[in-house]
Structures are given as structure tokens and as C-alpha cells.
């Protein structure tokens, strides 16, 4: 299986050709999901005792399977949070895989981890957090949020013996990402959601804390603010929230989830909206969202990395050698939930090193600008109406007179035609949820014409 033979050389050329084709295409085909039975009918048996051969398997991939996927980097894919990895980052993702590096410990991964840390230092500098703040790349925002929440919970339990037997409580807002609620379940913490989907303010947080019973106040160990809500790009009042967390005392951990919005820290035009983020205890940023990394690459940054190490470093006789002075260096496994890990910050490092940080700023500013352009086009169209002003690169708008079914049919029609992927969302107004249309811009290659054409499809 591992012998270098002529087939392998040919396979390598085929794969390289495919990759070059794919990453130089600015308009990849927008695939459609097919039913599992239909895919099975089209590909037949793929796992057999003899193997079907690389050529055949690759053919099935190219002719059938990839066509049943939606490229996140399509310029008219404005659904959820799309992505737009740089070509250099994608190429270096191949290099990362080919280099077979175990990214958990410095002893094995030093050169790779060094490069990751170069990129991390830039990320940390965007937050303005003081020394010794530092972080680590994770599989995504969910794993980053979980790693931060575990660290917060462990710190709180270490504060008072009685906390060890208590179920912790977290405050966030309705606009917080689903992963916050899901990860609270994982750590068996209770979560209290401030009911507004608009910007969470320090005053609202203060009122919410004041409304807690004394017992509940003693269970409160973390406040999660959002630095760019996934649905609407709203940045909570980070400064006001930091003030309240400071005032409340050392038992409150202040986490900022900027998985989507964190890229905008690099954009001078909106950086001030994040003021206060430098006072967080931990921050989540997803380079695979707005920092043009391929999947999967999230990041968690800690004000005091040693606290994360106390919470996460794994013990085991087979791991002792890594603690030997001869193997000393930064061990990514100590700061998040995963042991064996891909050196997944490497593609970001290479792309940053190659292009320089200014190009990143420009590409992010373009996403912000596209949201403003879309906002103007919507204002000038009498069939359409903004639900709220564009925030970061998110635009929520309604097509006057449409029902939820109309939005759904429109989404499926555009996707079926291979034209665009734009999905509706819900926006909370008082006690009711309204179905509305939503754009999220990431890809700097999206054009004004793309936006106009999508809006015209709502006629």
C-alpha cells in the first residue's frame, strides 16, 4: 500500500491537476445535495476487499460526489457564514497533510507549531490583549468556545471549595451562537439568555445579574458576549460588559465569542466597535470564517494561558516524556480539548507570510463594503426593505409581501439552478420571529452585479 509505484505518481499528477483546476476557478459549480439512495445508485460499491482502484474512486469523486456538495467559496454563496480560503492557504493545507506532523507537542511538531504561533501572535495583536495573552488553533469555534468555558469553570471551582459541588451558570444573550448553548450542555452548566437579539449592553447585563437569587449569583461563573452575532453581525457592548464583569469580581470569566466577527478586528473602519475586547479573559476567532483559512481552523485566545493549561493539560504515563526539559516548548495540547491534532494554523501562517497582513485588511474591508452596497441596493428597491442597517458583513432584509414559504422556494430555486445559495433566517421582533432574507459577505470576489442579480431573483 505504501510502495511508490507508477500508479501513485500518476495519481499524484491527477490530484494536483484537479487541485490546480479547482483553486484557479473563480466560479466553481454550485452543487446540489442528492438523496443518499441516489448517490449510492450512482457510485455502487466503493469499499470492497480488492479495492476499486484510485482512478475509479477519483472518477466517482469528480463525476458524482463533489457535484453533490456546495462550494463555500462560490461568490454567490452568501448563506450562513460562507468562506473564501486563499489559494496559498489551500496549497499549504496540502503541504500540511503531506508533512504528517503531530501538532500536539513541541517535541514532535516544533517547526510547525512555531509557524502556527507566528500567525497566532498576529491574531493576539489584533485583540489588543496584553502579555502574556496567547492562544491555540482549534478545530473551530465550537471547540474554542468549549475550551474557554472549561477553563472558566475550572477557575471558578478552584476559587472556593463549595463551587466544586455546584452546577455553574453562564449568562449570554439570545444572539449568542448555538454552540454556546450546546457547549454549556457538554459541561453541564446552566445558561441564562438575555432575551434581546440586539446588542447586549452593560446595563442589561447588570440588571440580569441583579435579578438573580443569591444562590444563583453564587453559581454564575461566566459571561459570554458576542463579537459579531452569526445571524446579524451585532457586536455586544464589550466595554460596558467588561466593566460589569470587573465590578462583579474575580468569580466572573468574561468570554467574547468572535468566531465570525473576529476577522473584522483587522479592519480599521470597524475596529472601534470591538473596544473592550482587550479586557476579555478569553476570545474565540475562527480563521476558517473571515480570515480566509480552509476548514477547519478556529482559535481560542486566553488572557492568562496558564489558567487554560491548568484546566486542559492531560496527564498520562505515556505523555510524561513531553514534560522532559529536553522536549520543552509550547504544547498546543495543553490549551484546548484535543490531544492529537493537525497543525491546522499552518495554512493561515503561510498565506499571511506570503501576502502580508495588509492584503487581509483589504479583503475584510471589501466584505464590509459589500454589505453597505447591498444595503443601498435594497433601500433603492421598492419591493425590498432593510430589517436593520447592515452590521459587519451581514444584511437582513425582507421582500415585501413574502411568506416563509416564498423565501424557502426562492432559496431552493436559486440553488437548483446553480445560481446562488442564499438562505433565509429568522429575526426576533418582540415575542415573534419573522422570516427574512439574509446575506453574509466573506468572499472579496463577490461583485455588485452578483448582489443585483440575486436581488432581481426576488421579483
Ligand X SMILES: *Cc1c(COP(=O)(O)O)cnc(C)c1O
* Closest separation in Å from C-beta 286 to ligand X: 5
Strands (E), 227-289: 253-258, 282-285
CA distances to 39, 238, 281, 339 from 223, in Å = 45, 11, 10, 27
In DSSP notation, 53-79 reads: -HHHHHHHIIIIIGGGS--TT-TTB-S
Which phi and psi (to 5°) does residue 377 adopt? -60, -40
Which residues are 227's β-sheet partners?
235
Spatial distance between the Cα atoms of 231 and 140, rounded to a whole number of angstroms: 18
Rule CB under 6 A: choose which of 179, 282, 391, 414 binds ligand X: 179
Taking CB under 6 A as the binding criterion, the range among 28-36, 137-145, 269-277, 363-371 that sits at the site for ligand X is 137-145
What is the torsion angle, in degrees rounded to the nearest 10, for the CA atoms of residue 178, residue 181, residue 184 and residue 188? Answer: -130
* Closest separation in Å from C-beta 408 to ligand X: 22
CA distances to 50, 60, 406 from 399, in Å = 55, 40, 9
Q: Is residue 270 involved in binding ligand X (CB under 6 A)?
A: no
**Burial readout 43-63 (b: 16 or more C-beta within 10 A, e: otherwise):** beeeeeeeeeeeeebeebeee
Taking CB under 6 A as the binding criterion, the range among 139-147, 341-349, 361-369, 390-398 that sits at the site for ligand X is 139-147
* Closest separation in Å from C-beta 24 to ligand X: 27
Spatial distance between the Cα atoms of 360 and 187, rounded to a whole number of angstroms: 35
* Closest separation in Å from C-beta 10 to ligand X: 36
Nearer to ligand X, 90 or 149 (CB): 149
* Closest separation in Å from C-beta 175 to ligand X: 9
Q: Is residue 260 involved in binding ligand X (CB under 6 A)?
A: yes
Nearer to ligand X, 191 or 259 (CB): 259
Rule CB under 6 A: choose which of 251, 286, 334, 450 binds ligand X: 286
Rule CB under 6 A: choose which of 226, 338, 414, 415 binds ligand X: 226
Q: Is residue 238 involved in binding ligand X (CB under 6 A)?
A: no
Nearer to ligand X, 81 or 395 (CB): 81
Is 245 strand, coil or helix? helix
Residues 55-84 that bind ligand X (CB under 6 A): 81
User: Is 267 within 8 Å of 275 (Cβ atoms)?
Assistant: no
Minimal CB distance to ligand X: which residue? 141
Q: Is residue 259 involved in binding ligand X (CB under 6 A)?
A: yes
Residues 299-358 that bind ligand X (CB under 6 A): none
Grid coordinates given for 415: 440553488
* Closest separation in Å from C-beta 200 to ligand X: 13
**Cβ-count burial of 353 within 10 angstroms (0-12 exposed, 13-18 middle, 19+ buried)?**
middle
Q: Is residue 298 involved in binding ligand X (CB under 6 A)?
A: yes
Rule CB under 6 A: choose which of 230, 282, 414, 446 binds ligand X: 230
Q: Is residue 140 involved in binding ligand X (CB under 6 A)?
A: yes
Q: Is residue 175 involved in binding ligand X (CB under 6 A)?
A: no
In 3D space, the residue among 150, 114, 156, 105 whose CA is nearest the CA of residue 346 turns out to be 114
Taking CB under 6 A as the binding criterion, the range among 256-264, 272-280, 333-341, 399-407 that sits at the site for ligand X is 256-264
List all residues 6 or more positions away from 46 whose beta carbon is below 8 Å from its beta carbon: 52, 57, 60
Taking CB under 6 A as the binding criterion, the range among 71-79, 134-142, 149-157, 267-275 that sits at the site for ligand X is 134-142
Strands (E), 150-260: 169-173, 190-194, 220-226, 253-258
Nearer to ligand X, 75 or 141 (CB): 141
Radius of gyration of the chain (CA): 23
Q: Is residue 257 involved in binding ligand X (CB under 6 A)?
A: yes
Size of the site for ligand X (CB under 6 A): 14
Nearer to ligand X, 82 or 298 (CB): 298
Q: Is residue 142 involved in binding ligand X (CB under 6 A)?
A: yes
How do strand 384-386 and strand 253-258 relate by DSSP bridges? unpaired
Grid coordinates given for 153: 469553570
Nearer to ligand X, 180 or 436 (CB): 180
Nearer to ligand X, 422 or 442 (CB): 442
Interface residues with ligand X (CB under 6 A)?
A: 81, 140-142, 145, 177, 179, 226, 230, 257, 259-260, 286, 298
Amino acid at each position: 500500500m505504501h510502495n511508490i509505484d507508477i500508479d501513485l505518481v500518476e495519481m499524484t499528477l491527477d490530484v494536483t491537476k484537479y487541485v490546480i483546476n479547482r483553486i484557479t476557478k473563480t466560479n466553481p459549480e454550485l452543487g446540489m445535495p442528492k438523496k443518499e439512495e441516489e448517490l449510492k445508485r450512482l457510485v455502487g460499491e466503493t469499499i470492497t476487499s480488492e479495492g476499486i482502484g484510485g482512478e475509479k474512486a477519483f472518477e466517482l469523486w469528480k463525476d458524482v460526489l463533489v457535484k453533490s456538495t456546495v462550494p463555500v467559496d462560490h461568490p454567490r454563496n452568501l448563506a450562513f457564514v460562507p468562506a473564501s480560503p486563499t489559494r496559498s492557504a489551500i496549497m499549504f493545507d496540502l503541504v500540511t497533510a503531506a508533512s504528517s506532523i503531530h501538532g500536539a507537542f513541541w517535541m514532535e511538531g516544533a517547526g510547525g507549531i512555531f509557524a502556527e504561533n507566528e500567525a497566532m501572535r498576529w491574531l493576539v495583536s489584533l485583540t489588543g490583549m496584553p502579555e502574556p495573552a496567547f492562544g491555540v488553533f482549534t478545530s473551530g469555534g465550537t471547540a474554542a468556545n468549549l475550551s474557554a468555558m472549561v477553563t472558566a469553570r475550572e477557575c471558578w471551582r478552584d476559587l472556593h471549595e463549595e463551587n466544586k459541588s455546584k452546577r455553574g451558570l453562564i449568562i449570554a444573550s439570545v444572539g449568542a451562537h448555538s454552540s454556546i448553548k450546546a457547549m454549556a450542555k457538554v459541561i453541564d452548566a446552566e445558561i441564562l439568555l438575555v432575551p434581546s437579539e440586539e446588542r447586549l449592553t452593560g446595563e442589561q447585563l447588570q440588571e440580569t445579574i441583579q435579578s438573580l437569587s443569591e444562590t444563583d449569583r453564587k453559581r454564575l461563573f461566566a459571561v459570554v458576549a458576542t463579537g459579531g452575532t452569526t445571524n446579524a453581525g451585532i457586536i455586544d457592548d464589550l466595554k460596558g460588559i467588561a466593566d460589569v464583569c470587573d465590578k462583579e469580581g474575580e468569580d466572573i470569566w468574561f468570554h467574547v465569542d468572535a468566531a465570525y466577527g473576529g476577522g473584522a478586528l483587522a479592519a480599521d473602519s470597524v475596529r472601534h466597535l470591538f473596544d473592550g475586547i482587550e479586557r476579555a479573559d478569553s476570545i474565540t476567532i475562527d480563521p476558517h470564517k473571515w480570515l480566509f483559512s480552509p476548514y477547519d481552523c478556529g482559535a481560542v485566545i486566553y488572557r492568562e494561558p496558564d489558567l487554560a493549561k491548568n484546566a486542559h493539560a492531560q496527564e498520562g504515563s505515556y505523555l510524561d516524556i513531553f514534560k522532559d526539559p529536553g522536549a520543552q516548548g509550547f504544547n498546543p495540547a495543553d490549551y484546548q480539548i484535543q490531544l492529537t491534532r493537525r497543525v491546522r494554523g499552518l495554512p493561515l501562517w503561510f498565506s499571511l507570510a506570503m501576502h502580508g497582513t495588509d492584503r487581509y485588511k483589504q479583503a475584510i474591508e471589501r466584505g464590509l463594503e459589500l454589505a453597505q452596497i447591498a444595503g443601498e441596493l435594497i433601500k433603492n428597491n421598492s419591493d425590498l426593505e432593510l430589517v436593520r442597517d447592515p452590521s459587519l458583513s451581514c444584511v437582513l432584509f425582507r421582500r415585501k409581501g413574502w411568506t416563509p414559504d416564498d423565501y424557502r422556494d426562492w432559496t431552493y430555486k436559486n440553488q437548483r439552478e446553480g445560481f446562488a445559495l442564499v438562505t433565509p433566517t429568522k429575526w426576533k421582533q418582540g415575542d415573534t420571529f419573522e422570516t427574512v432574507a439574509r446575506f453574509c459577505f466573506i468572499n472579496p470576489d463577490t461583485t455588485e452585479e452578483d448582489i443585483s442579480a440575486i436581488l432581481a431573483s426576488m421579483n
